[in-house]
A and B are shown apart, each in its own frame.
Chain A
Amino acid sequence: MNTSGQDSQYSGYNFAYLDEQTKRMIRRALLKAVAIPGYQVPFGGREMPMPYGWGTGGMQLTASILGANDVLKVIDQGADDTTNAVSIRTFFERVAHVETTTRTEAASVIQTRHRIPEKALSKGQILVYQVPIPEPLRFIEPSEEETRVMHALEEYGVMHVKLYEDIARHGHIATTYAYPVKVDERYVMDPSPIPKFDNPKLNMSDALMLFGAGREKRLYAIPPYTRVKSLDFEDHPFEIQAWDTPCELCGATDSFLDEVITDDQGGRMFVCSDTDYCQNRREEVA
């Protein structure tokens, strides 16, 4: 198939790809998710024309909320230009003809994989997370039947035990991403594989956050202005990653840095993972 045939491939599908009944099913589930912050609402996830695990949950949520006047930003690893971000953005350009942007502040809907933008989100914005494994207890208890009961009984002791085992062994909590949080003092929630560096941004955010796991057919939400606390211990308080060096491109000292290998002699440099943030800072300096 050549590229000129790509657009015609997408003709004949509904606005934003999903049919209206599927959107309504997801929308009803989203309202429940917002009403029960941090609770994983089962939904009838559909196959998307992208593989499971590549953001189908986030895409179904985006497709269900997106309107003709929305401005969409898609990031993967914080960057707008990673292959999967490009692919998903292109998909929505073709099936919904919405305006897209790389500027965080210009977007009304941001779909993300693995990062929260550095720039604080504002009221009215919606951040849609792609989630691989929505169940924070899954690696402690593989059975869905069991974890569902654990959530019902608020039986989260095992999670603390697991984190504490890390401390006993390593002297630190060894979870560095997908770091579990407690939402409004009730549900323990997986914030998706964002680095724990981003966890504080979940707390009392101005923006609405929606989480979609397509393969696992679960969605959940954190409304704006909701208390979100990263699990920790009094003697081992939650802490975020820090780097010794600033971003080599923009000089930022407050952003999450990616390590880039520059040669085969062990040379490396650190640059912002959030490409839009980095770009803006460089433009300001220039």
Chain B
Amino acid sequence: MYVAVKGGEQAIANAHRWMADRRRGDRNQPEIDVEQVREQLGLAVDRVMAEASLHDPGLAALALKQASGDLTEAVFLLRAYRTTLPRLADSVPLRTADMRVERRISATFKDVPGGQVLGPTYDYTHRLLDFMLLAEGECPAPARAEVALEACPQVLDSLDAEGLIEQEVDDGAMPYDITRDPPDFPVDRATRLQMLARGDEGYLLALGYSTQRGYGRNHPFSGEIRQGAVEVEIEVEGFDGPLCIGEIIISECQMINQFGGSREKAPQFTRGYGLAFGRNERKTMAMALVDRSLRAEELGEPVESPAQQPEFVLAHADNVEASGFVSHLKLPHYVDFQSELELLRRLRREHAARDGGGTADEVESARAHEMDAGLKDTTASAPLSAPSSELPSESSSESSSAPSSAPSAPRRSQETSA
């Protein structure tokens, strides 16, 4: 006998409770503290802040803990929180030239004013598992220079004097705000940079990498990579000049890229730019590569590779959007699937009748796996369909935590459950 199952709410609650249990893990182990996450998984915290577009290490650490370390989920949590915050002020543009540098390297000059500063980095470590970390132990304090590094000039500025590199000029225009208004393509560079800055690191890395392998090659050099603390300032009515409201750590990358010049313009280096909250060096390098490749049209280069197509790159860079839409395939699609099924059966009946390849009845009783194979044809013309009869993830928890309901699709159960 067929019974329609009610009680989705209970199943959802049970699933969440189980998830919380999983997150906590073995109760014999001490529970991880948000402060520990913040202090000891700092690069994960930084990545979450960058992709969530919210600088708050404490909340990013909380999001990481709540998400059991799932970075994309943590980004989503922080992003959703960010949306609810009132906007009290806009900062004046950060002055990265005035950064209190803790790391600063250039691959284009052996020595630069201010010097090369390796700073804290995994570069040049030998990637051997350090079994010493299995044991608790003291970590020696870092060796630091006697004098803290003062603000040092940006390397690319040294090319400015000769006119060897294009000038970036602030046209004073109010930047578009991608968090408030929907982007209307094509978008300007400032908007592109905003979208890249919150883009998924893995995605930007792959796209940047593709340009190095010839899909829109633009001959990059790391002109300068720096990270350190910059002051955040806001204008307040009644005060002369901006007020500093605090300091944040950021990473910046300026790529120097080739440019052939044109009839009107002497050959000149061009720039790709990357900036991110926290210590996010890989992200900023990838961002700079992609920023530069998205300038192809502006610089008169042929647009022929994925990383050069702004709408393609930007519309798919946001991992909160991407993971949401991919994961929505877990939601029920019974109705659409049923629509496809009905058509497919009809087409197969007609096909059979035409070709005499089998009676309509034989086709009608075709097995499910045959339908799956056949479905691929129709989904090609209707890509939205979700030809999946797999269980939504909630169902597994539903069945175990509420053993009386069957582990079938959440809305209906089979007679075995009754």
What residues of chain A have their CB less than 8 Å away from a CB belonging to chain B? 1-3, 6, 13, 19, 42-49, 51-54, 56, 76-79, 81-87, 90, 113-115, 132-133, 139, 142-145, 162, 165-166, 170-172, 174-178, 193-197, 215, 217-218, 241, 243, 248-249, 256-263, 266, 269, 271, 273, 275
Contacts and interface: CB of A to CB of B under 8 A. Distances in A.
A165 B323 CA distance: 33
A46 B83 contact: yes
Contacts of B335: 77-78, 114-115, 177, 193-195, 256, 258, 273
B328 A51 contact: yes
B6 interface: yes
Interface in B4-27: 4-9, 11-13, 16-17, 20
A42 B183 CA distance: 9
A214 B75 CA distance: 18
Given A81-B411, A195-B336, A271-B2, 12 more contacts: A2-B17, A47-B79, A53-B324, A76-B332, A86-B12, A144-B311, A166-B381, A175-B382, A193-B333, A197-B339, A248-B2, A256-B338
Given A52-B325, A90-B9, A174-B382, A43 B331 contact: no
Contacts of A258: 334-335, 338
B146 interface: no
A219 to B, nearest CB: 10
Closest 10 CB pairs of A and B: A52-B324, A53-B328, A51-B324, A176-B339, A217-B182, A53-B325, A86-B8, A42-B182, A53-B324, A47-B83
Interface stretch (B33-41, B292-300, B343-351): B343-351
Most chain-A CB neighbours within 10 Å: which of B12, B335, B343, B384?
A: B335
A274 to B, nearest CB: 10
Contacts of A115: 335
B172 interface: no
Interface string B363-376: 00101000000000
A172 B332 CA distance: 26
A145 B311 contact: yes
B184 interface: yes
A54 B339 contact: no
Nearest to A52: B324
A139 B381 CA distance: 8
Contact of A133 (B84, B365, B384, B394): B384
Contacts of A166: 381
A83 B13 contact: no
Nearest to B325: A53
Contacts of B346: 172
Interface of B: 2, 4-9, 11-13, 16-17, 20, 76, 79-80, 82-84, 86, 179-182, 184-186, 311-312, 315, 320-321, 323-328, 331-336, 338-343, 346-347, 350, 365, 367, 378, 381-385, 392, 394, 410-412, 414-415
B332 A84 contact: yes
A197 B343 CA distance: 12
Contacts of B323: 51
A241 B341 CA distance: 11
Contacts of A143: 185, 311
Contacts of A175: 381-382
A6 B315 CA distance: 33
A215 B321 CA distance: 6
Contacts of A45: 182
A148 to B, nearest CB: 8
B334 A273 contact: yes
A45 B347 CA distance: 40
Contact of B381 (A19, A51, A174): A174
B338 A132 contact: no
B339 A44 contact: no
A48 B84 CA distance: 9
B331 A84 contact: yes
A176 B310 CA distance: 32
Contacts of A83: 8, 11-12, 331-332, 392, 394, 410-411
Contact of A81 (B6, B17, B326): B6
A262 B343 contact: no
16 contacts: A19-B84, A43-B182, A47-B83, A51-B76, A53-B324, A53-B326, A54-B324, A77-B334, A84-B332, A90-B9, A139-B384, A142-B312, A176-B342, A177-B340, A241-B342, A258-B335
Contact of A44 (B7, B182, B394, B412): B182
Given A53-B324, A263-B414, A177 B182 contact: no
A183 B180 CA distance: 29
B98 to A, nearest CB: 32
A43 B183 CA distance: 9
Contacts of A79: 411
A177 B339 contact: yes
A76 B411 CA distance: 10
Contact of A195 (B324, B339, B414): B339
Contacts of A49: 80
B411 to A, nearest CB: 5
Most chain-A CB neighbours within 10 Å: which of B328, B331, B414?
A: B331
Contacts of A76: 331-332
A87 B12 contact: yes
Contacts of B326: 53
A3 B321 contact: no
B48 to A, nearest CB: 14
A265 B342 CA distance: 20
A168 to B, nearest CB: 12
A3 B76 contact: no
A255 to B, nearest CB: 12
Most chain-B CB neighbours within 10 Å: which of A82, A139, A178, A271?
A: A82
Contacts of B13: 3, 6
B50 to A, nearest CB: 16
Contact of B415 (A3, A87, A195, A262): A262
A269 B315 CA distance: 42
A241 B5 CA distance: 26
